[in-house]
Amino acid sequence: MNAFFDYGTDILTVSKVLAIASGTLKAGFSEISLERIRRSEQAVKDIVSQGRTVYGINTGFGILANTSISESDTRTLQYKILQSHSVGVGEPVSAEIATIMLITKVHALAKGFSGVQLTTLERLCWHIDQNIIPVVPEKGSVGASGDLAPLSHLCLPLIGLGEVFYKGIRRPAADVLQAEGLAPVTLGPKEGLALINGTQFILAHAVKAVQRLHNCLEAADIIGAMSLEALTGTKAPFDERLHQLRPFDGNLLVAQRLRNILDNSAIMQSHIDCGRVQDPYSLRCMPQVHGASRNAWLHLKELTETELNAVTDNPIVFTADDTISGGNFHGQPLALPLDYNCVAAAEIGNISDRRCYLLLEGKWGLPILLMNNVGLNSGFMIPQYTTAALVTENKTLCFPASADSIPTSLGQEDHVSMGSISGRKLNQVITNLEHILAIELMSACQAIEFRRPLRSSQVLEAAHHHVREQVGFANEDRIFARDINIITDMIRDFSFVGAVDSFAASNGIRLNQNFDTFSLT
């Protein structure tokens, strides 16, 4: 990864936007980008001075597109659009989501087709660099003419309005600007429209979903393999020859990972001639089920990275004499894959819950409910109630928001994507999935200890050890919610997958080979 990212010129990826957001990658403007920005800014000034009528520059917005605005009012028009469109409701999105919105907005505007002033972009960069992040309500976008409401809130601090998170405290933007010795930005013609037209709210949620779902998919393979070991299942269904006959990339990757994760397991070797013909689907069909979700994830990643480098403004300014009012702000290209990935994420939780259930049945040498003294103790019965509840909640969240459309702007905007809802919904499904996987991991760690003194593979023993450093074996009932939350945090902060990957790499074990497209980097 380069030490410096050039807004508007370099190719932005999911990993790079996350690195900029975390402060590990610096970003700014090269001379090439500066020239594009200045040329576009001048084109808008020329449109105004020549008296040409261009939507959003010297006309009203939406249904008011045919209302002319005088040259003297073009700046006031941009100020008012930020005010009038700031109608978001609900809790604020996380500071990280808002930061990603800022980064992706700067990158899109710096491509030089939006007519914004360099000073405006520099102020947006100041917010990123100083970690002074606008407060953006989570609800209010229909994902059509861009994410109008959330982007308006994102950009209110530019003109001294709205709120920001400042040193961890929510404060009025005007007070913070004064404390920092800065005056509000004076917006030029078209700038207000350029700032709020775009898909950056949908896009920020897609970026986080790509990162978080990738982590869950990696974890699911490890955890599923541990459950398979605890249930003395076979790895025969992961044979590469089988999957080459149906060569979906996601299936091939998961089968490969499972083979590598389970390699040299004494537990596996101990029952190789046990006579059990087939395992339940939740064990032997992991490559097909996890793999299908991998394929869905890859599609979302590819489309997200296309959008990361797109211009989603309207109108597009090529030159002062060449502008096009189109629909690049429409959220449908991301809304559909975000909805599709709700199903992909929910299905990983669904199959994980089934493995949790199998671990409790008392079959294949495991004690019923994974505890020796049940009756007085309920054992691991009730954690599976939670996975069942979360799986059902995820099913209700799988209704595609993009399948609905409610016309706005008195019919001018007569088809909308609802992609903002798709993005928020997907991240909620992933949050539930992290809990489900944590409960399976907790149960599998308990179960595998009933196979002692036999040991599993190096990789799975390392995964088990990582959990046991913080959560011990349960001889009797306790408040399992504490254990679930600790293990969920291991999954959510990427430390579980990170620890397993680090162990594998340091021992020369390659879990992923020849499937670079499925990587975040």
Give the number of other CB atoms < 10 A from CB of residue 406. Answer: 11
Let me know if 96 is exposed, middle or buried by CB neighbors in 10 A (0-12, 13-18, 19+): middle
Let me know if 158 is exposed, middle or buried by CB neighbors in 10 A (0-12, 13-18, 19+): buried
Q: How many residues does the chain have?
A: 521
> b/e map of 476-506 (b: 16 or more CB within 10 Å)?
ebeebeebbeebbebbbebebbebbbebbee
Question: Quick check: 169 and 103 in contact, CB under 8 A?
Answer: no
Supply φ then ψ for residue 247, to 5 degrees.
Answer: -85, 60
Helix (H) or strand (E) run with residue 4 in it = strand 4-6
Angle of helix 419-448 relative to helix 480-492, nearest 10 degrees?
Answer: 120
Active site residue 7: no
Question: Quick check: 347 and 254 in contact, CB under 8 A?
Answer: no
Supply φ then ψ for residue 288, to 5 degrees.
Answer: -75, -40
What is the distance between the alpha carbons of residues 415 and 457, in angstroms, rounded to a whole number?
A: 53
Q: Which of 55, 79, 166, 340 is catalytic?
A: 55
Tokens of 177: 């600007």
The residues annotated as belonging to the active site are 55
